[in-house]
A and B are shown apart, each in its own frame.
Chain A
Amino acid sequence: MIVYTLKRLALALVVAVIVSLVSFMLIRVSGDPAIALAGEASSAEQIQHIREQYGFDRPLLVQYLDWSWRALQGDFGESPYFRLPVSQIMGDRIGVTMTLGGCSLAFAVLLSLPLGILAAVHPNTWVDRLALAIAVLGQAMPSFWFGLIMIIFFSVTLRWLPVSGTGSWRHFVMPTIALGYYATPAFMRLIRSGMIEVLSSDYIRTARAKGLRWPKILFKHALRNAIIPVVSLAAVQFGFMLGGSIIIESVFALHGIGYLAWESIGRSDLPVVQAIVLMLSLIYVVLTLLSDILNAVLDPRIRVK
């Protein structure tokens, strides 16, 4: 288990380095950062001056090494728009995004788990169809539209929840449902098909032959095997929720990373964009690592590979 973890960790580090290199290069080839900083109307000398001031005239690889060395120390440069260190801007926003992503993932899993298990225990019955209908509804509704409908209903009509902002936990209720509900069908289907497959397996018959009762058979013997692919999906979905929550953050005016990225791209605020891309890709790497380790904890056969 320790060997497996170390191997995965080494692999994750390699991937992280490659990802940071690729993201750095991609942003650099997308436009001249000096022009972006100086602005459309500036003269050639001003651009050249900025180019030298920020070191954009050096070879790309040198720039990358310089940037990554500083990034390792927590220094992502300064945002020309905010006139503030990028790390400080990010620090304010990351909490919002992580809270939203974490809550949404928990919502999606907690909703899809009972639905998936119920559907698998009663396949092709009205229970199954109802569970599927509840889940598919989430996929069929665009999340921004669902978000707006909720605002109209819960905030404007009923006045139960605040429309926007991040002041209290009540601000996160609707964004969490909007973002989490959208991810529910994928989880629910995976849990349903996994449980159906596992429930027809020989070791479930063995468990029944031992005289075990249904709750123990379902939750000890079946769920542990069926949940393994769900863990991998959860890692990917969580990454998606962090990086892809731009729409939901905009709808509810939550000042998170997604919203910041969208704004910063519009302002050509390269150091911020650069830092966000790096951080989101590193979060993906970490999530994949965590899901691999969690899977190995759940299934001893994975540890040997």
Chain B
Amino acid sequence: MGLILEVEGLHVDLPLPAGRLQAVRNVGFEVSQGETLSLVGESGCGKSLTALALMDLLPPRAIRRAGKLVFEGRELSGAAEDAMAQLRGDRMAMIFQEPMTSLNPCYTIGNQLVEAYLQHRRASEREARERAVFLLETVGITAAGSRLKQFPHQLSGGLRQRIMIAMGLMCGPSLIIADEPTTALDVTIQAQILALLADLQREFRMGLILITHDLGVVARVAHRLCVMYCGQVVETGTTKEVFARPLHPYTQGLLRCIPVPGRVEPGSELGSIPGLVPTPIGVLKGCTFRNRCPKGRPECAVENPHLREIGPNRALRCLDALAAAA
């Protein structure tokens, strides 16, 4: 399995009038060919900004710093906009949360699909159209040829998201980043889109970074996951291991929030995590989860816990859990 993406020490800061908001702090992970990595966390935990930072698509105010950002063997942290534009849509593609607004209302589906291909390939309009039809069929759209002439407003949300996926695949990228691809869709469509993403990822042997707040989604498709809290990775591991033996109190809390047949008694109350995510502005001291943590210790307010490797592909950022494991 070849390594596609290596990220180390990724920071994203947003300068605000109240101070510097540290939206993403020292995040690192790896993605291999044919592997699905999930970034999980609540809204505002920095997972979407992490994704945008990988593509260098952050909003203009945001400041990105990366210790290491190697994609297909190339260091991207200082890459020029033109070099990034060459990779975007060709080697790495992104699927967004809002299929309703992510397509330009003024152009046909065909125009927008073909454009993605012609930007990176020396090909005729006809070849690009054939490629578009092929991919529309691949993502399960019937009558693909006539869909090319349709406008986004003539299509449902599920169809538009399939088109977004087809658009991402136009040039055969090695990495797909899907930012909450199913959040705006209704439940039955969600399941279809997820199954489609998982199938395509296997078929084309791509790396997939799936960003979601939905642990049910993670359980279904991800090989590994990074649980993010307040801009940091707090726990990583294979999906199987983390779900079977969550170690960080935050991960444990998240898992208590979802009903699992067999584990949660019917009729019993689902768990919830009390309190709110703190806003990471200014100097941060101690563990950012301590105020909501059932296992908080006095030293949690003083010491910043480090992300410790506790096994192959397994890491943890918690003083209490590490003390218990030692």
Contacts and interface: CB of A to CB of B under 8 A. Distances in A.
Interface of A: 201-203, 205-213, 221, 224-225, 298-301, 304
Most buried by B among A210, A300, A301: A210
B151 A301 contact: yes
Contact of B115 (A202, A212, A300, A304): A212
Interface stretch (B93-101, B132-140, B224-232, B279-287): B93-101
A202 B167 CA distance: 15
A206 B96 contact: yes
A213 B120 CA distance: 11
Interface string B63-101: 000000000000000000010011111100110101001
B85 A203 contact: no
14 contacts: A202-B101, A203-B101, A203-B103, A203-B104, A205-B57, A206-B167, A209-B96, A211-B87, A211-B88, A212-B119, A221-B104, A225-B105, A299-B106, A301-B153
Given A208-B88, A212-B119, A300 B106 contact: yes
B149 to A, nearest CB: 11
A207 B57 CA distance: 11
Interface of B: 55, 57, 82, 85-90, 93-94, 96, 98, 101-107, 115-116, 119-120, 151, 153, 164, 167
Contacts of B115: 210, 212
Contacts of A206: 96, 102-104, 164, 167
Listed from nearest, the 8 A-B pairs whose CB atoms lie closest are: A211-B89, A210-B89, A211-B88, A202-B101, A203-B104, A300-B151, A210-B116, A209-B94
B106 A298 contact: yes
Contacts, number: 69
Given A202-B101, A205-B102, A221-B107, 16 more contacts: A203-B102, A203-B105, A206-B96, A206-B164, A209-B57, A209-B94, A210-B88, A210-B89, A211-B86, A211-B89, A225-B105, A298-B106, A300-B106, A300-B151, A301-B153, A304-B153
Contacts of B94: 209
Nearest to A207: B104
Given A300-B151, A301-B153, A209 B89 contact: yes
Contacts of A207: 104
A209 B88 contact: yes
Contacts of A203: 101-105
A202 B115 CA distance: 17
Contacts of B104: 203, 206-207, 221, 225
A211 B119 contact: yes
A300 B105 contact: yes
Given A209-B89, A212-B115, A299 B105 contact: yes
Contacts of A209: 55, 57, 88-89, 93-94, 96
Nearest to A206: B102
Nearest to B105: A301
Given A202-B96, A205-B96, A211 B85 contact: yes
A24 B119 CA distance: 59
B249 to A, nearest CB: 35
Nearest to A198: B104
A225 B85 CA distance: 23
Contacts of A212: 85, 89, 115, 119
B102 A202 contact: yes
